[in-house]
Amino acid sequence: MLAENVAKEIRKDALVIGRAAQCLASGVPPGAKDAERLLADARGIDREFLDRAAGLPLRLDIPYGRIEPLRRQRIERGLDLAYRIMAAWHGGKRLRDALPVQQLEQSLREMLALYCEETAELGRGVQTRGPISALRERAAGALRDTMAEVARQLAHEAARWIHRPRIAAQKNA
């Protein structure tokens, strides 16, 4: 189930990146309509996931009223970031030239923080039966805390890795 959940999120992120590429090709930056369309697509992906999870000893109720504002922000930030990166590449720039390290780290951290909040809200929609139900809240809290810490570290390390000095540049220095 965890692997399917990761695959589901990858599909959603791929849609965001693909939409940003379509916007770049059309010459029109992404906007609210693009985010709305992606939210609808995400709901469809969620429904497919829920259909496959129907036989598990738990019930998943997705609280869209609480997660969609978070998801919308994450999609909007992802669209903007992907669009800016692709526009830079299209213009012959490198990612490190398009986004300073601090700005890239901040963008990644914000997107990952929104994902952590969304995951926590989704966790509240998990209904379990039996002895495992007593552990659900404790496990959800530990997962949220771990995700937040890993998100912070990942954003920092990814931004630094992208902006690391290149070997050729070090040899010429």
pLDDT for 71 beyond 90 = yes
Tell me if 26 is assigned to some domain. Answer: yes
Q: What is the mean pLDDT of residues 60-87?
A: 92
CA 144 – CA 133 distance, rounded (Å): 17
Tell me if 46 is assigned to some domain. Answer: yes
Tell me if 91 is assigned to some domain. Answer: yes
Tell me if 171 is assigned to some domain. Answer: no
Full-model pTM:
0.81
Tell me if 78 is assigned to some domain. Answer: yes
| pLDDT interval class at 69 (50, 70, 90) | very high
Among residues 19, 11, 49, which one has the least CA distance to residue 126? Answer: 49
Write the pLDDT tens digit of every residue in 23-38.
Answer: 999 999 999 999 999 9
Q: How many helices (H) and strands (E) does the chain have?
A: 7, 2
Number of domains comprising the chain: 1
Tell me if 169 is assigned to some domain. Answer: no
DSSP letter, residue 99? S
Domain that residue 16 falls in: 2-164
Write the pLDDT tens digit of every residue in 96-147.
Answer: 888 899 999 999 999 999 998 888 887 776 666 666 666 666 777 777 788 8
Tell me if 43 is assigned to some domain. Answer: yes
**Residue in the block written with tokens 């916007």:** 23
